[in-house]
Amino acid sequence: MKLTPAILSEWSSAPISEVKTLELARRDISCVDDLSFCIELRKLDLSHNALSEKSTTAGLVELKSLTWLNISNNHLDHGSFISAMDELIVLNFSHNELIRIPEEIVNCPKLKALVLGNNQIQQVENLGKLEQLNTLVLSNNRLTEIPLLLKNTEIVKLSLGNNQIRVIPDLSHLSQLRELRLNNNKILTIPNHLSHCASLEILDLGNNILTSWSDVESLAFIKKLTNLNLKGNKVCDEPDYRNRVLKLIPTLRVLDGQRCDEKYRLKLEKRQNRQVHRKSEKPRAPLTPAEDHGKPRGVRFSKNRTWIRPRDKPETTEGSGNI
C-alpha cells in the first residue's frame, strides 16, 4: 500500500498539519508519499511494513522536525531518508538489510539512542559526530571486533551480542559505560583493562569461550559490577563455581540471571528454614466428637487443646456516645 496524504487524513482525527505522533506499524505500507505537510510531526512508527528501495522512502526526506523514528522490520539497505533529520534523538533501524551504518547518520548530531540490531553490518563507521550518543545496539550482526568509539564518550549502554568478536579492546575512555553485552561471541579471556571502565555495572559474557578461572579473574577489579552473566561458558563447570565467583566479586547482586545479594540470601535462608520447620512439626490431631460438641461458639483450641476465648467487648455505659 502507498501511504498518501489522503489516506493519512482518513486515519487521523486531527488535521495532518497538526499531528505530532503517527503510529503506522503493521499497515503493509510499501511506499511513502511526500509527508512534508506534517510540519509538527515529532514521532513516527513505520515498523513492520514493506519498505525497501530508496524510492519507497523518498517521502520521508522532508520530515526535519522528527525526534523519534522507528523503521525496524522492513527491507531497507540504505538510510538516505535521514539526511535532513538533524533533530533526531532516537532511531530504531533494527531488523533490516543494512551491510554498513548509513553515512547519512552524520547529519543527526543530537542522536542519543541508535538501534541497529539484526542487520548484516560488518564494520562500525560514521559515528564520530554523534557525541551525545548514549545507547548503541549492534547485536546480531557480523562484527568481528568491538568499535573503539573514541569520540562517543557518553555511551552508557553498548550491546554487541551475537557477533563474531574475539577480543575486548581497551574501553577505558568510555567512563560512563554502565552496561556491556557481549554474549554469544568468541571471547577467550577478560582483559585487566576492562576494570578501567569505572562505571560498569552490568556485564553479559554468556556463551563465549571462557574456560578457566584465569580467564575471568580480572573481574575482581571491576569495582561497581552488580550483574554478571557467564552462563554457557566452560568455566561454569568448575567445582564450587558459584561460591567462588561470589567471593571473587562481593558487589554482585545478580549472577547468571539469579539474585545473589546478601539481603536476598538471608530472606531465602529464612524461607527455607521455615519450610523445614513446618515439615518437622507433628500434624495436629482432629477434634474428638466430644471436644467439638462441647466447644462454645466463638472460641478455638490452642495447641494444648485449651479454649481460647475471644476478647470480651467493652460494655458501653449510658451517655457515652458522641456529643
Domain-located, residue 107: yes
Distance CA 288, CA 300 (A): 14
Is 142 domain-assigned?
yes
Q: What is the per-residue pLDDT for 261?
A: 78
**Has residue 230 been placed in a domain?**
yes
In this structure, what are the phi and psi dihedrals at residue 5, rounded to the nearest 5 degrees?
A: -55, -35
pLDDT tens for 194-239 read 999 999 999 999 999 999 999 999 999 999 999 999 999 999 999 9
- Residue 317 in domain: no
- Are the C-beta atoms of residues 88 and 63 closer than 8 Å to each other? no
Is residue 188 situated within a structural domain? yes
Percentage above 90 pLDDT, the chain: 75
* Residue 318, pLDDT above cutoff 50: no
Whether 310 is in a domain gets the answer no
**What is residue 11's three-state secondary structure?**
helix
298 located within any domain: no
How many CB atoms are located within 10 Å of the residue 49 CB? 24
Write out the residue range of the structural domain in which residue 50 sits.
2-274
Q: Round to whole Å and give the CA distance between 202 and 209.
A: 19
Residue pair 117/142 in contact (Cβ under 8 Å)? The answer is no
Mean per-residue pLDDT of the chain: 89
pTM summary value: 0.82
Would residue 13 count as lying in a domain?
yes
Domain count along the chain: 1
CATH number for the domain including 157?
A: 3.80.10.10
Q: What is the pLDDT of residues 112-129, one digit of tens each?
A: 999 999 999 999 999 999
